C-alpha cells in the first residue's frame, strides 16, 4: 500500500492558481512517518478524470483527491468517481444533516433564508450527493463534507478545508501505519564531480544495502546560496530503511572523497 495524490482543476494546469497540496501532503505524511509515492494533475475533463479514477480504484494505494467536488458546472469529481465505480450518486444522509446545519447557520435567524425548499438551498444539497456506499469526511471549516470510498478520499480544492480533512483521514483510518516504515535520509554536497564518475559507486552502495536508494540531484550552480554553491555541485545522498542509512551514507561519502572530490556535509 502506497500513498498517492490527485489534484484536479484546470486552474492548476493553466497556471491561474499554484498548487499547494503537493508540498502539504508530503509534510502531513512525513510527520506521521509516511511518504508520498506518486502524484498526478488532471484538468476538469470528465472522461480523463473518470479514466484516472478507474485506474486508481483498481489499485491498492491510499489516494487523496482534491478539487471538483462542488456543484458548479466545472465540478465533475463526484460524478466521475461514481462512474468509475459503476454506481449512482445519492444524497448522503449525514451530508444532508451537515449541509442543513450550514444553511441554518448562514441564515442568521432569517426564516426565509433557512427555508430548505428554496432553490438555492436545494442546489446546496447537490454537494452532498456522493457515490452510493461512500463515507463522509467532516469539514471543520464550513460543514460541507468530502467523501471516502474504500481507500480513496475526496476533498475540496481549498487548502483551508482540504488539509484538516486530510489530517482527519490519516488519523482516523491509518494510524496503525504511522512510523512503521522506519525511513531516514542523509545527504551531502559534492563539487565538480561528473555523475557518470559517481554512478558505479552509487550502484555499489545500493547493492550493499537492501532497502536503500541513492539519489543524485545535480545543479549547474546557485550563486544566491553563497560563493561555494556557485560552482557545479550535486546533492548526493541515501534514503530508505533507517537501520542501514548511516552505514550506506558513510560508504557513499567515503567513496566520493576517495575519488578525490570535495564534500560538504548537508
The ranges assigned to domains in the chain are 3-177, 183-265
**Residues contacting 24, CB < 8 A, separation 6+:** 159, 163, 166
Q: What is the CATH number of domain 183-265?
A: 3.30.70.360
Note whether 7 and 67 are within 8 A (CB).
yes
For the chain, the farthest-separated pair of C-alpha atoms sits apart, in whole angstroms, at: 79
What pLDDT score does 238 carry?
97
What pLDDT score does 47 carry?
97
pTM, 2 dp: 0.85
Q: In whole angstroms, give the CA distance from residue 126 to residue 96.
A: 9
Task: Please work out, in degrees rounded to the nearest 5, the angle formed at the alpha carbon of residue 10 by the alpha carbons of 8 and 14.
Answer: 130
What pLDDT score does 266 carry?
85
Q: Alpha helix (H) ranges present in the chain?
A: 10-14, 21-30, 46-57, 77-85, 93-107, 119-124, 159-173, 195-208, 242-258
Fold classified for 3-177: Molybdenum Cofactor Biosythetic Enzyme; Chain A (3.40.980)
Q: In whole angstroms, give the CA distance from residue 200 to residue 183.
A: 24
Give the residue from 47, 59, 45, 56 showing the smallest Cα distance to 6: 56
Read off the DSSP letter of residue 118. Answer: S
What pLDDT score does 68 carry?
96
Q: Which grid cell sits at 119?
A: 432553490
pLDDT digit string, tens, across residues 87-111 = 999 999 999 999 999 999 999 999 9
Which residues of the chain carry a pLDDT beneath 70? none
Note whether 2 and 34 are within 8 A (CB).
no
Q: What are phi and psi of 74, to 5 degrees?
A: -95, 10
Average pLDDT of the chain is 95
Q: Which grid cell sits at 53?
A: 479514477
What pLDDT score does 100 carry?
96
pLDDT digit string, tens, across residues 138-187 = 999 999 999 999 999 999 999 999 999 999 999 999 999 998 877 889 99
Give the residue from 220, 209, 218, 194 showing the smallest Cα distance to 246: 209
What pLDDT score does 227 carry?
79
Amino acid at each position: 500500500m502506497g500513498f498517492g495524490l490527485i489534484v484536479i482543476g484546470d486552474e492548476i494546469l493553466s497556471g491561474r492558481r499554484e498548487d499547494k497540496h503537493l508540498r502539504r501532503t508530503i509534510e502531513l505524511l512525513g510527520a506521521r512517518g509516511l511518504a508520498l509515492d506518486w502524484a498526478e494533475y488532471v484538468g476538469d475533463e470528465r472522461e480523463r478524470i473518470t479514466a484516472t479514477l478507474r485506474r486508481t480504484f483498481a489499485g491498492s494505494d491510499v489516494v487523496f483527491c482534491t478539487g471538483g467536488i462542488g456543484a458548479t458546472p466545472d465540478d465533475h469529481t463526484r460524478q466521475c468517481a461514481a462512474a468509475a465505480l459503476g454506481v449512482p450518486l445519492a444524497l448522503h444522509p449525514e451530508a444532508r444533516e451537515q449541509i442543513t446545519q450550514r444553511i441554518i447557520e448562514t441564515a442568521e435567524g432569517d426564516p426565509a433564508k433557512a427555508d430548505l425548499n428554496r432553490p438555492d438551498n436545494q442546489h446546496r444539497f447537490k454537494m452532498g450527493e456522493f457515490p452510493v456506499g461512500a463515507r463522509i469526511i467532516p469539514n471543520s471549516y464550513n460543514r460541507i463534507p468530502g467523501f471516502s470510498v474504500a481507500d480513496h478520499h475526496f476533498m475540496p480544492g481549498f487548502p483551508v478545508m482540504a488539509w484538516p480533512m486530510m489530517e482527519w483521514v490519516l488519523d482516523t483510518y491509518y494510524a496503525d501505519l504511522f512510523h512503521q516504515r522506519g525511513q531516514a535520509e542523509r545527504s551531502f554536497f559534492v563539487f565538480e564531480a561528473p555523475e557518470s564518475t559517481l554512478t558505479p559507486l552509487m550502484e555499489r552502495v545500493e547493492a550493499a544495502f537492501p532497502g536503500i536508494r541513492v539519489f543524485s540531484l545535480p545543479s549547474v550552480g546557485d550563486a544566491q546560496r553563497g560563493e561555494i554553491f556557485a560552482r557545479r555541485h550535486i546533492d548526493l545522498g541515501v534514503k530508505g530503511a533507517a537501520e542501514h542509512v548511516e552505514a550506506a551514507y558513510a560508504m557513499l561519502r567515503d567513496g566520493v572523497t576517495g575519488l578525490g572530490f570535495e564534500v560538504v556535509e548537508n
